[in-house]
Amino acid sequence: MLALTGLAGCFDRGADLDLLGPCTPESELHLEVGSAIQLTAHAITRLCIGAESPSDYLLVVSSRPGGSSEARSLTVRGEGVAPITDPGIGGPPAPAIGERPRPTLSDPGSQASDAHHHIREIERTELSALIGSAPTAPPHSGLPVERAAPATRDTQPSEGDTIRLNTRASPSCEPAGSSPAVVRVVSESALLLEDPTNPPGGYTAEDFASFAAAFDTLVGPLALETFGEHTDLDDNGRVILLFTAEVNRLSAQSPGTTLLGTFLSRDLFPPAEPLGRLQPCAGSNFGEVLYFAVPDPQRVIGFGTPSRESLVRGMPRLMVHELQHLINTSRRIHITGSDEPFEETWLNEALSHTAEDLLFFRRTGLGPRMNIGMGELLEAGPTGPQALERIQSQNLQRFQRYLRASEAHSPFAPVDGVETRGAAQQLLRYLLDRADSDDTPILRSLIDGGSAGVPNLAARFGGQETLRRWLTDWHVALYADERIATEDLAFQLRSWNHPSLFEALGLPGNPFPLRPHPLDEAQPVTFELALGSAAYFEFTVPSPATATLRIEPQSGAPDATLAVTLLRLR
């Protein structure tokens, strides 16, 4: 067994290693198999590695928050090193899934990162300007109801009623007028509306009933227990679930994306008169509204929306994802009065994808820190593989995409890309698992704590220095988990056996999509490293000798935000 041990924090605090001068016996690093050392790059100009016999190593160069958000250009040079010819390091294969066909997966690249990014950026610019510092007054209002049969307007709507509201799935406050929407289901906690202008071949009555049941019994209770209560601005005691082709049209306007659901913060603002610290937003529905795409089998809208069957299967995942957004923003604006009314997009999406994780756990009876692979899913019965396909496969694909290009993508990127989502969600999962306590108080504090982005994350996980150290350990875990046996929890991704699931899903590059650079003394490697990400290098010291590694920025000097980890593999 290889045991990862000896990972220190900032090793430059020790006085017994000279890492700034020439290589000497006193400055040589001698690592046992499976041991590692971690240093901040500003303390070193080179690493001297002493090897008594041929030895294989992994070098990880990590970029950590605290400095510039720009990607940095670096060069790694090695003297006395050569590429590893036979890595021979890998975990056990995934359990066979028998005759069951592999899940049908949609490309996560088609998920609407660009459209979501556009929505969130408008919220953080246009809507932030409408928020002052005064407390928000308790709101009392309701959407106008047109009854299909004679009744008073202050009664709860019934199936067949028509409600007028702004159905445009746009974050803008631009006035849009109101359009009719037909009430399909009034459930305990949701009001399901259908846009009558939707294309033919849409959801059936049974579909709407199943959506309402899932929201009442699974999605709503899970989200509220975890993230907290949302507002009730329209005083109807329910969340409106609006199924409208306006969501489809957003995708048609952004080629290459498929937006299947969204939440619009504009609906949390008063539409006409100021309310407490909030200025009016003319496009607001002033209520809790989630928007979802509809089937379009004849492509009336003009692009390939997933089939009705696919949308129905994935609706609980979509609902819990968007409900987290609603809870997050409504609590910040109306309940806690946060000075940061909008979470940064990368962390907001990480929280919503974590809500999908929790939905998976609730549906299967499995849980965090169980190292879930295909073996555990099969033991859970038919629900396990089904939930993998319907709930978790998209998260796994996003993470796998990040691993295939880790150094180019940041979990903290302001641009909402597929790889960023995969990295941010899995980093949050790692931090929760590393904290090794009840997830719920931490997740709720990320919403109610009054900060956003990296400072928010740091405040919940021990401060900036702890976050830096844990981020660097996460970078090592991305390589080591399931590939190298270790009892050190810092270097494990404890909730998921990713190689097993990647292989079972048939994802390209499985089971270990993270491919380090081979390091050869004849060919230095120059690369761009995004903030919060890492670059990986494998090499061997082929004979008893001293090897030298140099990590050189293309401009400026290394600082404390750059860390290096050296791990002896064999």
Which of 492, 481, 486, 479 has its CA nearest to residue 535? Answer: 479
Phi–psi pair at 268, nearest 5 degrees: -95, 0
Rounded to whole angstroms, how far apart are CA atoms 201 and 199?
A: 7
How far is Cα 411 from Cα 394, in angstroms, rounded to an integer?
17
- The amino acid that residue 479 corresponds to is Y
Other residues' Cβ atoms within 10 Å of the Cβ of residue 152 = 7
Residue 317 to residue 292: CA distance in whole angstroms = 12
Nearest to 398 by CA among 442, 368, 455, 354: 354
For residues 490 and 174, give the distance between their C-alpha atoms in angstroms, rounded to a whole number: 49
pLDDT, tens digit, 9 for 90 and up, residues 200-225: 999 999 999 999 999 999 999 999 99
Could you report the per-residue pLDDT of 68-110, keeping only the tens digit for each?
Answer: 777 889 999 999 999 998 765 544 443 443 334 444 555 554 4
- The partner residues of 550 in beta bridges, in order of sequence, read 77
| Bridging pattern class, strands 36-40 and 534-541 | unpaired
523: DSSP letter: B
Give the residue, 121 or 512, on which the prediction is more confident.
512
Across residues 35-56, what is the average pLDDT?
83
Q: Cβ(228)–Cβ(329) under 8 Å? A: no
Cα gap 329→326, rounded to integer Å:
6
- Sheet containing strand 162-165, edge to edge, reads 145-146, 162-165, 179-186, 190-194, 239-243, 289-292, 261-263
Strands 525-529 and 47-51: what pairing?
unpaired
Q: Identify the residue with better confidence: 142 or 496.
A: 496
For residue 559, the model assigns a pLDDT of: 72
CB contact at 8 A, 185 and 238: no
Mean pLDDT of the chain: 87
What was the pLDDT predicted at 151?
A: 33
What burial class does residue 517 get, using C-beta atoms within 10 Å of its C-beta: 0-12 exposed, 13-18 middle, 19+ buried? middle
Residue 131 pLDDT more than 80? Answer: yes
Reported pTM? 0.91
Using pLDDT thresholds of 50, 70 and 90, give the confidence band for residue 488.
Answer: confident
Say how far apart CA 274 and CA 280 lie, in whole Å. Answer: 5
Cα dist. 176→19, 171, 206, 252 in Å?
A: 64, 11, 32, 19
State residue 51 phi and psi, 5-degree precision.
Answer: -125, 125
Nearest to 514 by CA among 552, 538, 561, 479: 479
Would the pLDDT of 465 be above 90? yes
CB atoms within 10 A of CB 128: 13
Which segments of 217-307 does DSSP mark as H helices, in order?
220-227, 245-253
Angle in degrees, 0-180, between the axes of helices 418-435 and 113-122, rounded to the nearest 10? 80
What are the chain's domains? 1-90+515-570 (2.60.120.260), 108-133+339-511 (no CATH), 136-336 (no CATH)
Q: Output the six-digit token pair for 140.
A: 């009392």
Contacts of 221 (CB under 8 A, 6+ apart): none
